[in-house]
Amino acid sequence: MPVYLDHAATTPMREEVLVAYLEHLRAVGNPSSVHRFGQDVRNVLEAARESLASSIGCNRSEVIFTSGGTESDNLAVKGLYWQRRVEDANRKIIVTAATEHHGVLDPIFWLEQHQGAEVALIPVDRNGVFDLGWLQQFVEQRGQEIALISLMWVNNETGVIANIEKITQIAGLAGIPVHSDAVAAFGHIPVNFAESGLAAMSVTAHKVGGPVGVGALVVGRQVKLVSLTHGGGQERGMRSGTMDAAGASAFALAAQISVSELPARQSKMAALSQQLISGVYGIAPDAVFSRGEALGLAETVHFAFDGCSSDSLIFLLDAAGVSVSAGSACTAGVNRPSHVLLAMGRTEAEANGVLRITLGHNTSESCVAAFLSAFPQAYAAAKKAGLASK
């Protein structure tokens, strides 16, 4: 039976979420219509907003529904930048990290190329940890020129966890809004928007057992941003378009279940992760655990294997019935080393020979055992192929 260990790419929809989703898909009515059909759907939408806000730790009015993490990231980065430029033309610097997801990096570099933004990259160490000493010094020196800071809560490839509260404290010294891509964090570690100090935060449904195509940008009540889309003025005027009530409801339910299960699931994930890590070291003693001793997400196990190709390892494991990845699904099939590993100071050879094994809500001991059973032959074959190509 095939084993799926690529939950960071997307995780299976929970059965109870699927049932509720299908039920709401049968409803007819535009949530902006005033008749009873429209208002019935509006009630579903607003109940979902209320529920999701409770799971995230924010006010219901701060939840802006979107199509997913990428749209949320674009709305936050571009919207905050444009708003800040309207308020103060001197603020044109965007601070981010080279280890960010392309959903953040690409709009930032687009703003640099087309809108005159200046990009400042916070250094990271070999474990992928942000240099907050550098950030504090940079804010002290050029804080009045910074439009926004965008740094992810949990890295989607290595699983390293950032100190978001410290980042927002530093930014607050110069009144700088901070956005965080929390797609890999929400539902996997405790996330509370109100306590974080963030101005905006991106989340998505399909990483917590909800449907693909639904997400949210959480925007603080006092925060203004320029919309990417203009039309009917829905979602506080930040995201025009007919709202997806069924998707929002499914997202809210998946989030509620994920958050409620979090304490028990964290314990389970820690045990499975340790079993996986120990097993890999037993088979490949020279493997390098990418985030080292840095604080990280238990569900994400990321290794570099000297002399192996990521593609070879993935294809060989897939042939054996075990599905894993090298990193973000958004860059899968792109023949280049991980930009995350390169930013962490790894060589191209090191960044070309990685595996990301990610666990999910339905991962069991038998799934880990299946990987450890298939891995020795795949590793030996990939190693042999790597040596032969030199």
* Catalytic residue list: 330
CA dist 268 and 70 (Å) reads 30
Q: Is 76 helix (H, G, I), strand (E, B) or coil?
A: helix
How far is Cα 120 from Cα 7, in angstroms, rounded to an integer?
31
Q: How many angstroms separate the CA atoms of 154 and 149, rounded?
A: 15
- Give 288-357 as a 3 state SS string: EECCCCCCECCCEEEEECCCCCHHHHHHHHHHCCEECECCCHHHCCCCCCCHHHHHCCCCHHHHHCEEEE
In the sheet with 178-181, reading across from the earlier edge strand, the strands are: 63-66, 215-219, 200-204, 178-181, 146-150, 93-96, 118-121
Q: Minimal CA–CA distance to 216: which of 195, 231, 232, 200? A: 200
Kindly report each contact of residues 193-198 with a partner whose C-beta sits within 8 Å and lies 24 or more positions away, as own/partner. 193/56, 193/57, 193/58, 193/62, 193/218, 194/57, 194/58, 194/59, 195/57, 195/165, 196/164, 196/165, 196/168, 197/164, 197/165, 197/168, 197/169, 197/171, 197/172, 198/164, 198/168
End-to-end CA distance of the chain: give it in Å, rounded: 35
293: Cα within 13 Å, side-chain hemisphere: 0
DSSP label at 6?
B
